[in-house]
A and B are shown apart, each in its own frame.
Chain A
Amino acid sequence: MQAGHTIDAIILRVAGIMIDELKLEDITPETFDPDMDLVDEVGIDSMDLATVALVLRDEYAVRIDEDDYPKLTTIRLISTYLQNKLVEAA
């Protein structure tokens, strides 16, 4: 696995992408709680997740299946999902 593909690195990158793409204010990748519920607390919806998924696909060459959206409820879960896909592809 590449150095940038440790779970902590992926979490930071996913948080950064989410902040940039969804224009979230007053938060940084470092302060974004990776276990915060994205729907119940951050208020994202499936369209937001689709936007983020597109950027992640370009960056990691991993496609997030739309059917998997409902279970990707935190940044940590998204990151773990990505990491697993990267391992499968390696």
Chain B
Amino acid sequence: MKTVSSLLDEHWHDRYRKISRLNIRSSIYDVTNRCNLRCKGCFFFSSGEHQVAREETDIHQWEAFIDKEMDRGVNLAILIGGEPTLCLDRVEAFYKRLPTFCATNGLIKVPRDRFPDLMVGISLWGSREEETLLRGKDAFAISSKHYEGDPHTYYLYTLTPRQLGRIEPIIKKIRDVGVKVHLQLLSNDEGVDGFSWTPDELSAIRDEMDAMLDAYPDTVISSKYYHEVITTGKMMDRSFGWMECPSVTLPMDTRNPRPRRLTNFIRWASDLSTMHRCCTSETRDCRTCKDGAAHMSWVMVNKRAHMNTTQDFQNWIEVYEMFAKLYQFIPW
């Protein structure tokens, strides 16, 4: 039997011990159906998810709901929307109770006197031109002023095929404002011209992501194995898709056989009773889904599958560490 100590030297074993008992149990919450931007690549609006449930507005209902979520073992709340910062009272209800991550476009600053260490992930879609094309405005110009030097903030930079060869200036801009960045790929849900990936483009963007990680290791929070998995859609000769995805809402998971999956994961709509099928759009083709968190989780829930070789297991550790950093379970 391959054991941890037969695969890892003491340095890597130490790293493994720091994450091996974290037992992260996340769920995702649509905080609101409203947003102050309308981005072309946003699955929430393109798939009509903003219309499936009437938003709960009573904060006491939110508080009671969150308590119930904790009772079923959730120890990481991932807040999305809509734009969560439009409803800071709801964000606060989560934040006061459990580790919370808030995805935002950064146009509204999370007040740090009220949320001193809330992890904030700011969406970024590229250069000023791309931000303007896809989002209607250069949100980075605003968000970078709001969060300059903030140790509890990172940019969630969505790469598109148009950015091939043009990532570095963005990484430098992020470095210069003193925050971290994590890279993910656009799933072109709305079929915007020029934004669907070809195999050659995926191969090229993987090389560029690797190069950015090498050149800016203090800024880019990522791992080369994650780059491999998300660009190829392959892990240990298995292909990502519906029968492999770990991020399916538990009560809606009818798959047989059921794959390894996130324990008790649910994505809740903002009425606090409707569930979405998975962490992203129900209308998306799972075979071409590029959701970063789903791919990370896919690796993470398949730990023992990576206990074949030292390299495989180190790859697994790096992906788990990346996730743990992005959600503040371990320091940068």
Chain A residues with CB under 8 Å of chain B are 22, 24-27, 36, 39-48, 50, 66, 69-70
CA distance A70 to B108 in the complex (A): 40
Q: A47 touching B1 by the CB < 8 A rule?
A: no
The residues of A that contact B70 with a CB separation of less than 8 Å are: none
- Residue pairs across A and B with Cβ atoms less than 8 A apart, 20 shown, are A22-B304, A24-B1, A25-B1, A27-B1, A36-B3, A39-B20, A40-B4, A40-B16, A40-B20, A41-B4, A41-B5, A42-B4, A43-B3, A43-B307, A46-B23, A47-B260, A47-B263, A47-B301, A48-B304, A66-B73
Question: Does B128 sit within 8 A of A, measured CB to CB?
Answer: no
The residues of A that contact B1 with a CB separation of less than 8 Å are: 24-27, 42
Q: A42 touching B21 by the CB < 8 A rule?
A: no
- Residues of B1-28 at the interface with A, using a CB-CB cut-off of 8 Å, are 1-5, 16-17, 20-21, 23
The residues of B that contact A36 with a CB separation of less than 8 Å are: 3
Q: B4 touching A45 by the CB < 8 A rule?
A: no
Produce 1/0 per residue, B183-227, CB < 8 A to A. Answer: 000000000000000000000000000000000000000000000
Chain B residues with CB under 8 Å of chain A are 1-5, 16-17, 20-21, 23, 73, 260-261, 263, 301, 303-304, 307
Q: B304 touching A43 by the CB < 8 A rule?
A: yes
The residues of A that contact B301 with a CB separation of less than 8 Å are: 45, 47
CB B175 to nearest CB in A, in angstroms, measures: 35
Determine which of B3, B4, B21, B303 lies in contact with A70 in the assembled complex, contact meaning CB atoms within 8 Å.
Answer: B21
- Nearest B residue to A24 by beta-carbon distance? B1
Which of B2, B73, B260, B304: most chain A CB closer than 10 A? B304
